[in-house]
Amino acid sequence: MGSLLLLLPLMMTPSDTVSPAAMQKLLPTALFEWTFAEPSKTYTGREIFHYMDGAGEVYLAYGFQRLLVQRYARPGQEEILVEVFDMSLPRNAYGAFTNMQGRGPAVEIGQGGEYKSGLLDFWKGRYFVCVMIDRENDDAKKAVFGMAAMISETITEQGEIPGIIALLPQADYLPETLRYFYRNEILNIHFYVADKNLFHLNEATDAVLVRIKSDKSYLLLIQYPGSTEADAALADFTRQYMPESRGSGVVRTENKKWTACRKGRNALAVVFDAPTQAAARKLLDKVQRRIR
Amino acid sequence: MSESTMTRRDFLRTTAAAAVVGTAAIPLLTGQKKGKQAKVILIRHQNVVDTDWRVDASIISQMLDEAMVNLFGVKNAEEAWKKVVKPADIVGIKTNVWRYLRTPVELEAHMKRRIMERGVKESDISIDDRGVLSNSVFARATTLINVRPMRAHNWSGVGGCLKNYIMFTPSPPDYHPDSCVDLGAIWKFPAVEGKTRLNILLMLTPQFHCMGPHHFDKEYTWLYKGMLVSTDPVSVDAVGLKIIEAQRSIYFKEPTPMRPPVRHIVAAEEKHGVGVANLRNIELVKLGWKEGALI
C-alpha cells in the first residue's frame, strides 16, 4: 500500500478525451479578415502520421491524443496554419513545448510561448498550440499573435509545471535548454546516452535535462516512483555506461570530460560532459541537497 | 538488458580512434576500403538558387544532366538518360513536397521532359510523394527516380533519399523505432527493389538543424547550392550527412552531432545490404563551384 501511494503522484492518467467539436471551439472563426480556408481536420492517436511522418512520434512520446488543424486564408495574404495538440495532460503539453524551446524569444501567451520566423508556439493546460505562416509580413505576424492570444484566452484551464523542475539549481542552468520528458527516445534527441533505456524511463517517471551556464555540461534529473526503481536504474546505468567507475559514480569519458551520477531518495542526478571531476562533483553536491 | 547496448561512449571511442569530428559520421568512416563500391557526383553552381530561394530552371537542369553524364561516364545528357529510362518504361518520380523544403518543381519538370524525350508516354510518368501507394503509375512502374532535399529530422536524425521511400509502406510507423534504423528494409519491397535507377539528394538549401517535430527555420539552412547524384541511395545520404555535420560544426562552433544520431544509413548497408555507407568505399566526384564544399 505504501508503494502504491508513492506511485500516485507520478501515475497520472489522462483526463477525458476532448472531442473535435470542443477543440474547434477553441479557435476563432475569423481575425483581421482571415477566415477559415477549409474545414478543420482532426487526427487522433496514430492518425497523426497521416499529417506528419516520423515527427509524429515525438508527440506520441509525450502522450499525444488528438490534433486539430485549421487553415485560415485572406486574399493576397499568407495562409495561417493553426495546430492544436490535445496532449491529454498539462505535463505532456509542457513537455512538448520544452522539446522545442530555445528557438526564439519568449512571448507572453499561454503558460509559456515563443515566436520566431513565423511560428508562434505555446502551451496552456493540456494543449500545445502552433500558429504559423510561411513568410513573415507585418499584418500576418500581427494576425499570428492575435490568433494565438485568442486561443490562449479560450483555453480556461491552467496546467501545473512538473514538480521536478523545482529541483533544478535555478540559477545555474540555461533556461532555454530545459527539456522535460519521460521517454528515452526524447532524451536521445537532446542528449544521446544509449540505444537501450538505461535509466528505465517510462510514464511513471519524470525527467529533465538542462545545460549548465558555466561550463555547458549537461545535468539530467530523473524522479522515480520509489527508491527501488531509482536503485535499479542507477545499477543499470553504471554497469553499462560507466563500468570502470567501480561504484565511485564518476568516470572520465573518451572525450576527456567527466560523467558522474548520484542517487537521492527516489531520484537520480547525472552530470555529463563536465570539464573536471571537481566540477561534476560540485554540481551534484548542489543537486543532492534538493533530491535527498 | 543486453550487453551489446550501444552508448554515447561507443561513439566517442570511435571518434577518438578516427580522430574526426562529429560522432554520427564515425561509423561511415571506419574500416578499410573493401567490399561494395559506390560512385557519387557532387555538383554545385553558384547561381542555381538565389537568396530568396528562387531556383534557376536552366541551371538546375544543366546540373542534373552534367552530373548524370559523369555518373554514367557517357558523352552527353541524351546518353546519360538512356542509362536511366527506356521508351517502354513506366516511370515513377518519388519526390518530396514538405511545405518548407520541397523538391523544386523546375527540377521535376526537367526530369519529366527528359523522360518523355526518351519516348516514354506522358501517361506513363507520375510525380508523387505521399500518394505513391495509391498511384496507378507507381503501381505499374518499371523505373523509379528518387529525388528530395536533405534535411535534419527530429526523429531519424536526417531525412534523405533512404527515408524518402517510407511512403512505399502502408504503415510508415513500423519503420520509426530506434530512430528509423530499418528504413533500408523498405528498399527490399517488391514495389521498389531493383527499380530505382537514380537517386538525387538535393543540397541547394539543406536544413542542418531542427528544434522540434516538423520544425523549420531558415536560420538553420544555408545556400550550399549543390546536389548529390548516384545510383545508390545510401551513398548519397552518407555524403550528404557528412556535409551537414560539417556545417553544424561551423554554425555551433563546437562538434554538434545530429540529434538523434543517424543510424539508418549505416544500417542500410550493414543490416539490409542496400548500398554503401562507408565513405572509404565511395568515389566522390566533385563538379562545379568549389568554395565552401565542406567535403
Question: In this predicted model, what pLDDT tens digit does every residue of B56-68 receive, in sequence order?
Answer: 999 999 999 999 9
pLDDT of the residue at B15: 59
Q: Which amino acid is at A91?
A: R
End-to-end CA distance of chain B: 39
Average pLDDT, rounded, for chain A: 92
What's the rounded Cα separation, in Å, for the pair B102 and B130? 13
Mutate which: B1, B97, B256, vs A, most A CBs within 10 A:
B1
CB atoms A119 and B215 under 8 Å: yes
Percentage above 90 pLDDT, chain A = 84
> How many Cβ contacts (< 8 angstroms) between chains A and B?
108
Q: Which residues contact A63 (CB under 8 A, 6 or more apart)?
A: A14, A87, A88, A89, A92, A203
3-state SS class at B226: strand
Q: Which residues contact A77 (CB under 8 A, 6 or more apart)?
A: A33, A34, A137, A139, A140
- The CATH superfamily of A10-154 is TM1622-like (3.40.1000.20)
Residue A3's pLDDT band (boundaries 50, 70, 90)? very low
A12 part of contact set with chain B, CB < 8 Å: no
Mutate which: A123, A192, A236, vs B, most B CBs within 10 A:
A192
Residue of B176, B219, B261 lying closest to A54 (CB–CB): B176
Closest to A130 (Cα-Cα) out of A99, A157, A163: A99
Mutate which: A50, A53, A94, A122, vs B, most B CBs within 10 A:
A53
Determine phi and psi for A194, rounding to 5 degrees.
-165, 155
CB atoms A100 and B211 under 8 Å: yes
Least confident residue range of A6-20, A114-128, B250-264: A6-20
Closest approach of chain B CAs to the CA of A56, in angstroms? 7
Contacts of A241 in chain B (CB under 8 A): 7-9
pLDDT of the residue at B32: 53
Average pLDDT on B254-263 reads 85
pLDDT of the residue at A292: 75
Average pLDDT on B242-252 reads 94
What's the rounded Cα separation, in Å, for the pair A97 and A186? 13
pLDDT of the residue at B183: 97
What's the rounded Cα separation, in Å, for the pair A243 and A253? 11
Average pLDDT, rounded, for chain B: 91
A11 part of contact set with chain B, CB < 8 Å: no
B113 part of contact set with chain A, CB < 8 Å: no
Residue B260's pLDDT band (boundaries 50, 70, 90)? confident
Using an 8 Å Cβ cutoff, are A112 and A94 in contact?
Answer: yes
Mutate which: B215, B256, B258, B271, vs A, most A CBs within 10 A:
B215
Average pLDDT on A160-183 reads 96
Contacts of B186 in chain A (CB under 8 A): none
Question: In this predicted model, what pLDDT tens digit does every residue of B52-109 receive, in sequence order?
Answer: 999 999 999 999 999 999 999 999 999 999 999 999 999 999 999 998 999 999 999 9
Residue B37's pLDDT band (boundaries 50, 70, 90)? very high
pLDDT of the residue at B28: 47
pLDDT of the residue at A186: 95
CB atoms B173 and A57 under 8 Å: yes
What's the rounded Cα separation, in Å, for the pair A166 and A178? 12
A254 part of contact set with chain B, CB < 8 Å: yes
Contacts of B151 in chain A (CB under 8 A): none
CB atoms A253 and B9 under 8 Å: yes
Residue B27 has pLDDT above 50, yes or no: no
Closest approach of chain A CAs to the CA of B130, in angstroms? 9
What's the rounded Cα separation, in Å, for the pair B66 and B235? 19
Whole-Å CA distances, B74 to A68, B38, B229: 52, 17, 15
Residue B23 has pLDDT above 80, yes or no: no
Average pLDDT on A112-122 reads 95
pLDDT of the residue at A15: 54
Pairing of strands A179-181, A206-211: antiparallel
Using an 8 Å Cβ cutoff, are A128 and A87 in contact?
Answer: yes
* Residue B236 burial class via C-beta count within 10 angstroms: exposed 0-12, middle 13-18, buried 19 and up: buried
pLDDT of the residue at A52: 86
Residue A93 has pLDDT above 80, yes or no: yes
Average pLDDT on A96-109 reads 95
Residue B24 has pLDDT above 50, yes or no: no
Preceding peptide of B172 cis, ω within 30°: no
Question: In this predicted model, what pLDDT tens digit does every residue of A120-155 receive, in sequence order?
Answer: 999 999 999 999 999 899 999 999 999 999 999 999
Residue B214 has pLDDT above 60, yes or no: yes
Segments making up each domain of chain A, as ranges: 10-154, 163-291
Cα-based torsion angle of the residue sequence A198, A199, A200, A201 in order, rounded to the nearest 10 degrees: -130
Average pLDDT on B190-212 reads 95
Residue B22's pLDDT band (boundaries 50, 70, 90)? very low
Residue A8 has pLDDT above 60, yes or no: no
What's the rounded Cα separation, in Å, for the pair A291 and A206? 13
Rg (CA), chain B: 18
Interface of B with A in 15-74 (CB under 8 A): 15-16, 23
Interface of A with B in 90-149 (CB under 8 A): 99-100, 102-103, 116-117, 119, 121, 134
Using an 8 Å Cβ cutoff, are A227 and A266 in contact?
Answer: yes
The x, y and z cell numbers of residue A134, run together, are 510561411
Average pLDDT on A255-283 reads 95
The x, y and z cell numbers of residue B214, run together, are 516538423
pLDDT of the residue at B254: 80
Residue of B1, B219, B260 lying closest to A192 (CB–CB): B260
CB atoms B9 and A188 under 8 Å: no
pLDDT of the residue at B34: 65
Determine phi and psi for B124, rounding to 5 degrees.
-100, 20
Percentage above 70 pLDDT, chain B = 92
pLDDT of the residue at A13: 46
